[in-house]
Amino acid sequence: MTQTRLFLLLLLFTAGLPNRADAQFFGLERQPRIVVGGTFGTFRISYDEFPSIYGGRWMNSVAGSGSYLIKAPYNILVKYRVAGQSGSATISGTPHTLEWREKILNFGIRYIYANDKRVSNFFSFGFLTATIEENGSYSLFGDRTGPRKSNAGGFFLDTGVFISITSRLQASIELEISSAALSGKSGFEGTSVGGYYLATGLTLFLF
């Protein structure tokens, strides 16, 4: 199943979920208006040429997010994530030491399923922009010369759970799927600089 089909299926699924605006939310009287959080995890990039330079597709990634309740259960979501990896390779007899840094900004809608249990789930979808900084004398893009800064755009979807620590503080587990294309390029699997982000973190329900 392609990332595009997953995206469309999630849209249909969330549109049909019940609105439990009157439900208690982890013991609170209502769903909080503002939610902030941070996560740390691992990111698997889809771009096929990446492993040949950096030794694999996986890299560490950290993210911060904030959401604002429009009308229960729908929230505006903003998420900022950074992923990075270093590598070295000998290309045409010339050794190169390289560093990849990818900054991703997500903007979309988050559906938070409210209930009075210790575990609650969420779904998000929307659009993203990405900035890729390649430090070193070689680039995976263009004429292959570095350092280089590139921009990309695409979409994301994520799903996960909140696990109650207190009524205001939650642990979280999430999986994000993203597809992003460089300017003027396609963003299909293998040419996408998006990928899969699996993370855990903490979330604070402010008010």
Q: What is the pLDDT of residue 28?
A: 63
- Tell me, rounded to whole angstroms, the distance of Cα 180 from its chain centroid: 11
Q: What is the pLDDT of residue 116?
A: 66
Beta bridge partners of 192: none
- Quick check: is 143 in a domain? yes
- Quick check: is 73 in a domain? yes
d(CA 124, CA 166): 23
- Quick check: is 181 in a domain? no
Dig out the tokens for 24 from the structure: 């208690």
CB 63 within 8 A of CB 87: no
- Quick check: is 183 in a domain? no
Instruction: List Cβ<8 Å contacts ≥24 apart for 104-107.
Output: 104/79, 104/80, 104/128, 104/129, 104/130, 104/178, 104/180, 105/78, 105/79, 105/80, 105/129, 105/130, 106/65, 106/77, 106/78, 106/79, 106/80, 106/81, 106/156, 106/178, 107/77, 107/78
- For the entire predicted model, the pTM comes to 0.86
Q: What is the pLDDT of residue 32?
A: 84
Q: What is the pLDDT of residue 104?
A: 98
Dig out the tokens for 27 from the structure: 């013991």
Q: What is the pLDDT of residue 7?
A: 56
d(CA 165, CA 151): 39
- Quick check: is 88 in a domain? yes
- Quick check: is 179 in a domain? no
3-class secondary-structure state, position 133: strand
- Quick check: is 93 in a domain? yes
Q: Which domain holds residue 32?
A: 3-170+188-205
pLDDT < 70: residue spans in the chain = 1-29, 114-116, 184-189
Q: What is the pLDDT of residue 4?
A: 55
Q: Is the peptide bond before 18 cis (omega within 30 degrees of 0)?
A: no
Instruction: Write out the DSSP string of 97-114.
Output: EEEEEEEEEEEEEEEE--
CATH of the domain at 85: 2.40.160.20
Number of structural domains the chain divides into: 1
Q: What is the pLDDT of residue 97?
A: 86
- Quick check: is 175 in a domain? no
Q: What is the pLDDT of residue 184?
A: 62
